[in-house]
Structure 1
Amino acid sequence: MHKNFNWVSVVALALVLILSACGSNNETDSESAADKESEKETTWDKINEEGEIVVGTSGTLYPTSYHKEENNELTGYDIEVMREVAKKLDIEVTFEEIGIDGIFAALKSGRIDAAINDIGIKEERKKTYSFSDPYKYSYTTMIVREEDLSGIESIEDVKGKKAGGAANTGYSQLAEHYGAEVVTYGNATNDVYLRDVDNGRTDLIINDYYLQSLALEAMPQFDLTLHPDIKMNPSKQAIMMGKEDQELQKKINEAIAELHEDGTLTEISKKFFNGQDASKKPEGDFEEVNYE
């Protein structure tokens, strides 16, 4: 062996090569993980690939999501809006009928891709879900018995009364906020709610103005009315999606903007809301009640 051979240099060089190799592997692994994350399939990717979006709706909420009596076909303002959105996106839409209390869980689990059922945009909901731009504007009102307004002169008189409602809705939360006892239903139709107020099982229903007024018009057999003095919380209804579905949200928003611009939303609204345009903000003074 050569006398001047430097073992220290050899060992140092070997260590440098080993450390360099380790550094390269770590960088490669990091880049690979980042690439995989960026390539992760989104809800929109799946929808676009399959050519179909699965949308949750109740099918029991007149006139936004219900079945025609003559042929049992699913229709309504929300249903026809969603069909037009799907046309703009060049995809098919399949509706899965679920009670409103189950829609949120179905969206979380991935059973459905989106939901449309007169769902209001709420700050609390936005922590868990994302929403499209509004396709409907309205406000909150109350159905009561016509003969005595169910003993309710102001919203504070709701305390101690029984309010018919569905679980997990802002309307039920509002009733509870004012001290009402909420009598919850499953996926019940409007006539069930109205009959119970009429016969005294419940005293009131807090809900959307358009839905309430049309339900009363469709079922004149009940001695009920909209409360003349209670108008609250202008609302915005939108299509609900998963929290991380920004790409799907963007696509749906583009479609809704086109439907606003070309007058399709107005046309559909007038068909289902007796000539009224629910796609535009209502005028008037409304009491703002924060119950979240």
Structure 2
Amino acid sequence: MKKFSLMILFVLTVVLVAACGNNANNNTTAEPSAAANEGAAATAAPAESNSLEAVKASGKLRIGTEGTYAPFTFHDSDGKLTGFDVEIAREVSKRLGVEPEFIETQWDGIFAGMDAKRFDVIFNEVSITEDRKAKYDFSDPYIVSKAVLIVSEDNQDIKTFADLKGKKAGQSLTSNLSDIARENGAEIVATEGFNQAIDLLTSGRIDATVNDGLSFLDLKKQKPDVKIKKVDEIAEGSQSAAVFLKGNDELVKAVSDALAEMKSDGTYLKISEKYFGEDVSK
């Protein structure tokens, strides 16, 4: 009986020692796991820098623009990219302490380019609309313009926007100006911009175009003999501004601040008068 009791005691001792060993092993395994988790957290990628910091770090501001929309963004006789929006963008870049890098893109693809992050901002006479505000952010407005109805000089049939019903209007498909023509019953003929619309109009391939009043004034100033006329205009002007992807609040503010400084110190007025002969910010 004594031997049997000793044997039971021995077995119990072995079982207890094994159990303690397993617990020790389990505890040893758990501790490195926690340490590994802490290490993973410590080596996780840092938060992405804000858009303004990223632009300054790169040393350049990537700007989407058409390059075919005089007088806002176009090429002069020497082939140099220039225009009202281009000069405004150059000055904004200077005040941010970076170089402007212009990426020329057709209007119909300019928002797709922004969505693909090909550029940081668009300077291209983009009107502020509720639909666009739902997807993009805008700087403070830097120009105000009115939509005008343009026809050939000898056209006597179209006198108001309502007369567009059943007529061919040359328009950029994604422009808010195209919406005005469409709402008045026009048949839309796709164009790549203002210049092409005027070419189609003067050659008789379209009946009219709803376009920017400032562009019309500039064209008549540059080519007073062009056989077109303005017959109607929208009473309320539209505001245009620089466009950004949402989530770039620091960059949006920096650009708006630069625009405010330009208006305050007279730089904006100088550029405005060069192209339009007056202050077009109001």
Per the shorter chain, which TM-score range? 0.7 to 0.9
Q: Could you tell me which residue of structure 1 aligns to residue 261 of structure 2?
A: 258
SS of the counterpart of 2:210? Answer: strand
Give the CA deviation at 1:156: 1.7
Counterpart code for 1:222: V
Aligned equivalents of 1:121 and 1:31: distance in 2? 43
The alpha-carbon distance between structure 1 residues 189 and 161, as it changes in their structure 2 partners (threshold 3 A), is closer
Alignment equivalent of 2:185, drawn from 159, 169, 179 = 179
> In the alignment, is residue 212 of structure 1 matched against residue 191 of structure 2?
no
Aligned equivalents of 1:162 and 1:44: distance in 2? 44
Structure 1: gaps spanning 5 or more residues: 2-17, 281-292
Q: Could you tell me which residue of structure 2 aligns to residue 48 of structure 1?
A: 56
> In the alignment, is residue 193 of structure 1 matched against residue 200 of structure 2?
no
Give the CA deviation at 1:44: 2.1
Give the CA deviation at 1:221: 3.8
Counterpart code for 1:200: G
Aligned equivalents of 1:85 and 1:37: distance in 2? 30
Q: Which contiguous aligned blocks of 4+ residues in structure 1 show a shift greater than 4 angstroms?
A: 21-33
Counterpart code for 2:107: I
> In the alignment, is residue 241 of structure 1 matched against residue 228 of structure 2?
no
Aligned equivalents of 1:164 and 1:141: distance in 2? 13
Structure 2: gaps spanning 5 or more residues: 1-9, 11-28
Give the CA deviation at 1:147: 2.4
Aligned equivalents of 1:32 and 1:177: distance in 2? 57
The percentage of counterpart residues that share the same residue type is 33
Give the CA deviation at 1:260: 1.1
SS of the counterpart of 1:72? Answer: coil
Counterpart code for 2:268: L
Q: Which has the higher helix share?
A: 2
- Do 2:115 and 2:245's aligned partners in 1 also have CA atoms closer than 8 Å? yes
SS of the counterpart of 1:53? Answer: strand
Alignment root-mean-square deviation, CA: 2.9
The alpha-carbon distance between structure 1 residues 159 and 81, as it changes in their structure 2 partners (threshold 3 A), is same
Alignment equivalent of 1:131, drawn from 138, 141, 160 = 138
Q: Could you tell me which residue of structure 2 aligns to residue 143 of structure 1?
A: 150
Question: Number of residue pairs matched?
Answer: 270
Give the CA deviation at 1:23: 10
Aligned equivalents of 2:194 and 2:178: distance in 1? 16
Q: Could you tell me which residue of structure 1 aligns to residue 21 of structure 2?
A: none
Give the CA deviation at 1:200: 2.3
SS of the counterpart of 2:238? Answer: strand
- Do 1:64 and 1:117's aligned partners in 2 also have CA atoms closer than 8 Å? yes
Give the CA deviation at 1:196: 1.7
Aligned equivalents of 1:193 and 1:180: distance in 2? 14
Cα deviation 1:201-249 (Å, max 9, x = unaligned)? 1111112211122123323343211115x33331111111111111110
> In the alignment, is residue 225 of structure 1 matched against residue 233 of structure 2?
no
- Do 1:216 and 1:225's aligned partners in 2 also have CA atoms closer than 8 Å? no
SS of the counterpart of 1:197? Answer: helix
Aligned equivalents of 1:63 and 1:72: distance in 2? 14
Aligned equivalents of 2:98 and 2:175: distance in 1? 30
Q: Could you tell me which residue of structure 2 aligns to residue 289 of structure 1?
A: none
